[in-house]
Amino acid sequence: MDNFIRITKALSDPTRVRILGLLLDGEVCVCNIARVVGVAQPTVSRHLKQCTDAGLTIGRKAGGWTHYRLATDSTDIYISTFLELLQQAVKTDDEFMALQENLQTLKKATTIL
C-alpha cells in the first residue's frame, strides 16, 4: 500500500506527469527537460527526485549533468500500468505531443552545435 501511495503522490502534480511524458522517448538531461517544460532546473530536479523515490524514474550522472529515464524495467504492477497509460495519453493529447516535438527540436539543435 505504501508504494501505491508514493506513486500516486508523485503523479498528483501536472508538471511531474509532463516530465514523465518527455521521458517516454528515452533518456533526457535535466537541462533539456527544464527548457521544454519551462521551469527552473532545480525545480525539475526536485520533481524527478520524487519520481525516482516512487520508482518511476532512474537517474544517471554524466559529467556535470544528470540524465533521467523511465523505470521501464520495473516489476511493480502500479508502475508498469501507469507507464502503459502514459503511452496512450501521449498519443492522443495535444499538449504531450507539443512537448515531445519541442524536445526533439531542442535535441536536434544541440546536436548540430
What digits encode the pLDDT tens for the residues 22-81?
A: 999 899 999 999 999 999 999 999 999 999 999 999 999 988 899 999 999 999 999 999
The SS3 of residue 1 is coil
**CATH architecture group of domain 2-106:** Orthogonal Bundle (1.10)
What lies within 8 Å, CB to CB, of 62 at 6+ separation is: 29
pLDDT band at 91 (very low <50, low <70, confident <90, very high): confident
pLDDT band at 19 (very low <50, low <70, confident <90, very high): very high
Instruction: Indicate the residue type of 102.
Output: N
Instruction: Indicate the residue type of 67.
Output: H
